[in-house]
Amino acid sequence: MRRSPASFSALERPVTADPKLPVENHPGGQPAPARTEATTTLLDPPSPNPLPQPQSGLQLWVHRTSVFLFVLISAVAGVLLVILPWTPEWTDNYLLLSFPGLRTFVSAGFFRGLCSGLGLLDIWIGFWEALHYHEHQ
């Protein structure tokens, strides 16, 4: 079933490739083909980025050292957070003796498990970073 150009609803109106060009209707209700000389700047693909520059020796070693320290600190903090909540030092310390309500909350199994879970997550993040380390060359 063909419709006349005046019977198109708001969702069925013909469009052009370039919004700056007018919509021209041909006989039969079909929109005019887009002009070949018209270009759109918003739809053009971005220009490719240049290749990354090679790092100098000092930058490379600073990057390696920072990744190593991140992995080391993540692993140590994770192990401490996994083990420490289940030791007596977790609740029997000088900081919590004057706050009995906080001491009760910190000694709850849910809070200890939450801290251990964060420790496992910290260990996983550290090892993930170590396994996915790569140097840009």
pLDDT of residue 28: 55
Average pLDDT over residues 107-126: 96
Could you tell me which residues come within 8 angstroms of residue 123 by beta carbon, excluding any fewer than 6 positions away?
Answer: 74, 75, 78, 79, 82
**76 alpha-carbon distance from chain centroid:** 25
**Residue found under tokens 């150009």:** 5
pTM for this structure?
0.55
Instruction: Give domain limits for the chain.
Output: 57-131
Average pLDDT over residues 51-77: 86
* pLDDT tens digits, one per residue of 67-102: 999 999 999 999 999 999 999 999 888 888 889 999
Q: 52 versus 70: which is more confidently predicted?
A: 70
